[in-house]
Amino acid sequence: PRFAPNGRVYMAQRAADRVIRGNRIVFEHGVGSGAIAVTDGKITAIAESPDAFEAASVLDAGDRVVLPGLVDEHAHVWEPGPNAHREDWTSGTMTAASGGITTIIEMAQGVPPAIDVAGFANKRRIAEQKSVIDFALWGGCVSNTPDDIAGLKAAGCTAFKVFTAWFGKDYASLTDYELLTAMEKVVAVGGVMGIHCENSALTDGFEKRLAAQGDFAGSAHERARPEIAEIEAISRVLLFARHTRCRVLILHLSTPNAWPVISRARHDGVQVWVETCAHYLTMNTDDLDRLHGFAKCAPPIRSEACRRGLWQLVNTGRSDTLAS
């Protein structure tokens, strides 16, 4: 196709197999009426006029929203593991498809986790049999594990996930030394590291303090994992990334108050990207008190001021990606 100066897209001179027409097609510049031409299963042209193309098969989308399939670059599926009865690769990817997500990059957690070639191959085998959409897989680095970074990369690992906070024996967080050396290994294979940034010493201390005070409100979860624990960990991670030249993705950013640290690191040449999530953009600590465990995540959902601040990062392009 060729692009006209007025923003319309005109089709090359051949017939389309199918045309999708609709009143709410998502264009680069907005939402409106238009048509999409498809040939050999691929989009060949898009036009702002519903009658721009002819084809033997025409699908009228009406007022349904028509947009490109989304990529969720940080998704969790419960399979394999003891909780696969809650969600397996079929039900999980059907849920993604129902929300317009046509590709997920699934996280390395699971039992067994994808922290070595055997665990990675096991998860890939399950996903190939059961996923209803396209997928890719993260690999992982955990404490006290003989990580096979090069082997995972060769097996198709898209990036390497690590924790700076403790989340159980099956996926143990890295010490500072382990994190630094893991970054060196990731750099050696040209990889990217995604990092869950929270300071374990701080979150453990605040949790014990609140428990001793008898504070078990839903919003106590946020007070047990305060912004300072996230900001400190991000600061440390970016210092290590600057030292090792490791490319990093800060996962599920919950506070806009970490942005000055991230901005300075970018200014200093660190290749760092930022992810935030829908729950941080749509909920605040009132929802923690209302929903309790059903709104529990880490880092936690934060104040209304944080929610609004994250929207500013998204709307100004400073947050690079949204994930589930």
pTM: 0.88
The low-confidence residues of the chain, meaning pLDDT below 50, are: 1-7, 10-13
What is the per-residue pLDDT for 73? Answer: 96
What is the per-residue pLDDT for 145? Answer: 66
- Beta strands at 9-10 and 2-3: parallel, antiparallel or unpaired: antiparallel
* Residue 111: other Cβ atoms inside 10 A: 15
What is the per-residue pLDDT for 3? Answer: 36
Q: Which pLDDT tens digit goes with each residue over 181-207?
A: 999 999 999 999 999 999 999 999 999
238-242 contacts: CB < 8 A, separation 24 or more? Answer: 238/262, 238/265, 238/270, 238/272, 240/176, 240/179, 240/180, 240/183, 241/183, 241/193, 241/265, 241/270, 241/271, 241/272, 242/268, 242/269, 242/270
What is the per-residue pLDDT for 29? Answer: 87
DSSP 258: G
Yes or no: say if 193 and 248 are a contact pair by the CB < 8 Å rule: yes
What is the per-residue pLDDT for 4? Answer: 38
Backbone angles phi, psi at 156, to 5 degrees: 115, 10
What is the per-residue pLDDT for 143? Answer: 83
Q: Which pLDDT tens digit goes with each residue over 111-149?
A: 999 999 999 999 999 999 999 999 999 999 988 765 689
